[in-house]
Amino acid sequence: MLKYSVFKRVSDFVIALILIILAIPVFVVITLALKFSSIRTAFFVHQRPGLNGKPFYLIKFKSMNDKKDNNGNLLPNIQRITPLGRFLRKSSLDEIPQLFNVLKGDISLVGPRPLEMRYIPLYTKEQNRRHEVRPGITGWAQVNGRNAISWEKKFELDVNYVDNQSFLLDLKILFLTVKKVLISEGVNSDQNNTVVPFDIYLKNSKK
C-alpha cells in the first residue's frame, strides 16, 4: 500500500501538470468569462478536510453569484446559479482548478470526495476512515450512483475504496468518470442542489 501511495502521488503530480498545461487556453477563457459575467469572481475557495482530516482550501470555478435577500442572507443555491455556472457544472469544467490542489498534494485525482468540515464530528468511526487516504476529484462513490444512493451507502463505498485502492481500480474510476461526463451525468454531490446536506439528513432521520 505504501509503495502504491508513492506511485500514485508521483503520477498525480505528473498528470495534473500535463493537464494544467493543456488546459491553459480553457482556463483563461473561463476565468475571463466569469469575471465579466454576473458572478464577477472567477474562483470559489472553500475549506475541506484532506488526508487524516487535515484542512485545506479547495478551489473551483465559481458557478453562483452572491445575491442576498432583504435580510442580508444568501439566496438559495438554485436561485443563484447562473446559465454560465450551470454549463460549467454540467460539463464538469468547474473542476479544472482542482488540478492545482492535486499538484500541491491536497487531493488526488481519485479518492473520496472532500466534503464539509462540519461533517467530521458527525461521522461514525468507520465512516471517518474515508480520511485515511487523500480525497479526490472523483471517486468510487461518484461513479456508483452518487446522487441516487443514501449517505450511508456513499460512505460505505468510500471506505471500500480505502481498503481496496489499486492502480486498476483507479483506472476504472477515471474511465467511468469520463464516461459520465461525456453523457452529462452528474458525478459530484456538492454540485447537486437537491442533495440534502449530511447534517440535516441526520437530523431528519432522528425525527
**pTM (2 d.p.):** 0.87
What is the length of the chain? 207
Beta strands in 34-112 (DSSP E): 43-49, 55-61, 108-110
Terminal C-alpha separation, the chain: 42
pLDDT of residue 194: 56
Domain hosting 146: range is: 2-205
Does residue 186 have a pLDDT over 80? no
Structure confidence at residue 187 (pLDDT):
45
Which residues 6+ apart lie within 8 Å of 126 measured at CB?
A: 155, 159
Mean pLDDT of 169-182: 92
Give which of 2, 3, 4, 6 is closest to 167, Cα–Cα: 4
Could you give the CA distance from residue 52 to residue 16 in angstroms, rounded to a whole number?
Answer: 22
pLDDT of residue 28: 95
Mean pLDDT of the chain: 89
Domain count for the chain, please give it.
1
pLDDT > 50? residue 32: yes
User: Which carries the bigger pLDDT value, residue 70 or residue 34?
Assistant: 34
Confidence of residue 128 (pLDDT cuts 50, 70, 90): very high
Q: Tell me the pLDDT band of 189, cut-offs 50, 70 and 90.
A: very low
| Residue 72: predicted pLDDT | 80
Cβ within 8 Å of residue 78, ≥6 positions away: 193
Kindly report, residue by residue over 81-114, the tens digit of the pLDDT.
Answer: 889 988 998 888 999 999 999 999 999 999 999 9
Give the whole-angstrom CA distance, residue 53 versus residue 62.
Answer: 24
| CA–CA gap between residue 162 and residue 62 (Å, rounded) | 30
What was the pLDDT predicted at 108?
A: 97
User: For residue 117, what pLDDT is reported?
Assistant: 96
Q: What's the pLDDT at 154? A: 94
pLDDT in tens, 134-158: 999 999 999 998 777 889 999 999 9
Q: Cell for 180?
A: 459520465
- What's residue 23's pLDDT? 95
* 125's grid cell: 468511526
Mean pLDDT over 57-74 rounds to: 88
- pLDDT band at 165; cut points 50, 70, 90: very high
